[in-house]
Amino acid sequence: MSAAVSTLDGADLLDAYQAGQSSVFVSPRGTLLAEGVHSEVNTSGLADLPEQVAAVLGTHPVRTVVGAVPFAPDAPARLVVPRRLRRAPVLGAAPAVPAASAARESLPPIPDPGYIAAVARAVEEIQAGAYTKVVLARALRLAAPGFDPAPVVRALAYGGAGTYTFGIDLGGGRTLLGASPELLVARRGRTVSANPLAGSIPRSTDPAEDARRAAGLLESAKDLHEHTFASEAVAEGLRPYCRNLRVPSEPTLTATPTMWHLGSRITGEIIDPDVSSLALAAALHPTPAVCGTPPAAARRAIAELEPFDRGFFAGMVGWADADGDGEWAVTIRCATAGPEGLDVYAGAGIVAASDPHAELAETTAKLGTMLTALGVFNVA
């Protein structure tokens, strides 16, 4: 297959996506299908990633990298220059694919005594002044013999489960798939945008109750406090690189089929055109929405309280080109599929006022995005 860039219909690109042979990324700007691997970016972590990518892109006709960066800053990323890159406009509707919203509230809180205990301990440490916020995650291992990620990725893209849908080839028969509602950062020409999400509540299938929950989220002192951490951190991270930075004074509601979130759409103008979208993403990652504050203390708490390696969960996923443009979503509402099965992830922000059982219910609702799309599997 020759190295080339072409444009087709978004539905055609989704149909052409094959796990293990290509990667797909669907966003409000359009659909991107990366086929094959011309070269892989070799890096030992986040610190030198923008420079390594710039060096690789300088000589290749596609001039774009696609892939994912893990949560841990010293873990290797999976970014590749594809042999062929195909783009399409914004994806249209697909009436034949059912929306994930039909299964809202179909899952009662999945028992997880270890998670409840971890949240309780985190609340005690926050109240003692060890840190101000930490994001604690859960991971479910699902048995899925013969699982093909492609139909699930298509269902997520068409079903409105998230603004940013992805199926990323991780190599070795592994695929990162999901539908994230959260934009870490995007750059298009001189325009920079970000949309940090923090503060959430599960949705209801009853319209009146759903509206009540949305209104309550906008007035929740606990959730507004949590959101402030994330929004201010992103604004501070972008400020050295942007002029005319516009930060909303109050968050607005962002809806997914399973959750209401508080979000703040932050925009600005890049000062130095040589600062790429990936450099901006590296400066922001990880935000308090997936880590906590202060970051070093939150990372230590995560290492102590979470009984698994996050891998690519709570990292970033997307693309960047040689002109500096690109889109990077926060890798949430996701799963990692491989020969050993499926690992599905979800997290919640813990602050002083957090209730362990409420956080359990919230993470179950967030897990519902992927569990609904995946269908019925046995939870190990």
Q: Provide mean pLDDT across the span 97-123.
A: 70
* pLDDT greater than 70 at residue 129: yes
Q: Tell me, what's the pLDDT at 11?
A: 86
pLDDT at 8: 65
Active-site hit among 125, 182, 306, 327: 182
Summarised one tens digit per residue, pLDDT across range 221-274 is 999 988 998 999 999 999 999 999 999 999 999 998 889 999 999 999 999 999
Between 95 and 207, whose confidence is greater? Answer: 207
Is 133 known to be catalytic? Answer: yes
Residue 380 banded pLDDT, cuts 50, 70, 90: very low
107: confidence class by pLDDT, cuts 50, 70, 90: low
The reported pLDDT for the residue numbered 217 is: 97
As to burial, measured by CB atoms within 10 angstroms (0-12 exposed, 13-18 middle, 19+ buried), residue 62 is buried
Model confidence pLDDT, tens digit, residues 42-79? 877 888 899 999 888 877 788 999 999 999 999 999 99
State yes or no: pLDDT of 347 exceeds 80: yes
Q: Which of 35, 125, 133, 359 is catalytic?
A: 133
- Greater confidence (142 vs 2) lies with 142
Residues of the chain with pLDDT > 90, as a percent, come to 73
Reduce the secondary structure of the chain to three states and give it as a string.
Answer: CCCEEEECCHHHHHHHCCECCEEEEEECCEEEEEECCCEECCCCCCCCHHHHHHHHHCCCCCCEEEEEECCCCCCCCEEEECCEEEEECCCCCCCCCCCHHHHCCCCCCCCCHHHHHHHHHHHHHHHCCCCCEEEEEEEEEEECCCCCHHHHHHHHHHHCCCCEEEEEEEECCEEEEEEECCEEEEEECCEEEEECEEEEEECCCCHHHHHHHHHHHHHCHHHHHHHHHHHHHHHHHHHHHEEEEECCCCCEEEECCCEEEEECCEEEEECCCCCCHHHHHHHHCCCCCCCEECHHHHHHHHHHHCCCCCCCCCCEEEEEECCCCEEEEECCCEEEEECCEEEEEEEEEECCCCCHHHHHHHHHHHHHHHHHHHCCCEEC
Q: What is the pLDDT of residues 78-99, one digit of tens each?
A: 999 999 999 998 776 654 444 3
Phi, psi of 147 (to 5 degrees): -65, 135
pLDDT, averaged across the chain: 89
Q: Which residue type sits at 17?
A: Y
182 catalytic per annotation? yes
Res. 3: pLDDT tops 50: no
